[in-house]
Amino acid sequence: MSPLRQALADYLSVRRALGFKLDRAEKLLGQFISYLEERQAVTVTTEHALDWATSPGGDPWWHVLRLSAIRPFATWLRTLDPAAEVPPPGLIRAGTHRATPYLYSGAEIAALMTAATRLPRPVSALTYPALIGVLAVTGMRIGEALALKISDFDDDAGILTVRHGKFGKARLLPLHPTTAAALTGYLAARGQLRPEPASGHLFTSVIGTPLDYNRVHRTYRRLTSQAGLTARSAACRPRLHDLRHSFAVASLLDWYRAGQDVQAQLPALSAYLGHADPKHTYWYLSAAPELLALAASRLETYLEGTR
């Protein structure tokens, strides 16, 4: 192992001990270290960092993301190696980037789950419909779902416990009885195909190991194609993470249509989604034209009542 790669391993170990997950940072920094090793560089320099961050082409926001992964590592490395350079902020200019959420209809989610039942391996044909269903009705992050253990599912109470949420926060997710029954059925059917996995994970591969994050994304992209889902625009393509967006927007729409106090309900939705601060949940209010129309109508009614 090269000194730079060992330094990266030490950096990740220290940051994770403080509660950071750094899954994306580990992948990006590993690629950056490979870049440095190919050039026989012995430390991080601003020139190398900028060249690597912008080398694949693509949008400026992606270049900013890559460079932002380097900066904390370079700052840490400089405490050990005075020759290491920390790329200054603002080297790459890019506006705020957000993909347009692909808001799934109920029919589209059903089509995805049906496509998943046709996966060639029996365990996958059971696991992927269950995984997609859970993501669609809980809005949990894919990383949280893949980390779930069988013991995190209380079938009697109908509750999932997310123990590995963002920033290390755990939370309880009450499930609709139909969801709890579907999960119970999934585990029973999978148990008939193979014994309970040694890992104890709720969602597993065909050999009983935890599902791989990247493989799940690749499989999901195939399923969207098989289900007939296509991009609505260059910035709006069906993504796995959009199941979370769809859950949040559907919850808000239901509350508006029922005449409930959405402002009062937002903290509950924020807690269910695992947001560190309710302000992060407000973004969903602008995620769908129908939500904006309902919010505007509610405001107009309020203003008329104050005249």
Please identify which of the residues 244, 245, 256, 272 carries the catalytic annotation: 244
Whether 66 sits among the annotated catalytic residues: the reply is: no
Whether 98 sits among the annotated catalytic residues: the reply is: no
Phi, psi of 212, rounded to the nearest 5 degrees: -85, 130
Whether 241 sits among the annotated catalytic residues: the reply is: yes
Please identify which of the residues 21, 163, 241, 298 carries the catalytic annotation: 241
Reference 124, options 178, 189, 185; nearest CA is 189
Whether 284 sits among the annotated catalytic residues: the reply is: yes
Whether 237 sits among the annotated catalytic residues: the reply is: no
Q: Are 54 and 63 in contact (CB under 8 A)?
A: yes
Please identify which of the residues 48, 141, 201, 245 carries the catalytic annotation: 141
Identify the burial level of 120 via C-beta atoms within 10 angstroms of its C-beta, where 0-12 means exposed, 13-18 middle and 19 or more buried. exposed
Whether 141 sits among the annotated catalytic residues: the reply is: yes
CA triplet 296, 99, 164: central angle to 5 degrees?
100
Please identify which of the residues 163, 166, 169, 237 carries the catalytic annotation: 166
How far is it, in rounded angstroms, from Cα 267 to Cα 274? 10
How far is it, in rounded angstroms, from Cα 142 to Cα 46? 34
Reference 112, options 204, 12, 239; nearest CA is 239
Q: How far is CA 91 from the centre of its chain?
A: 28
Residue count (the chain): 307
Catalytic residues: 141, 166, 241, 244, 275, 284
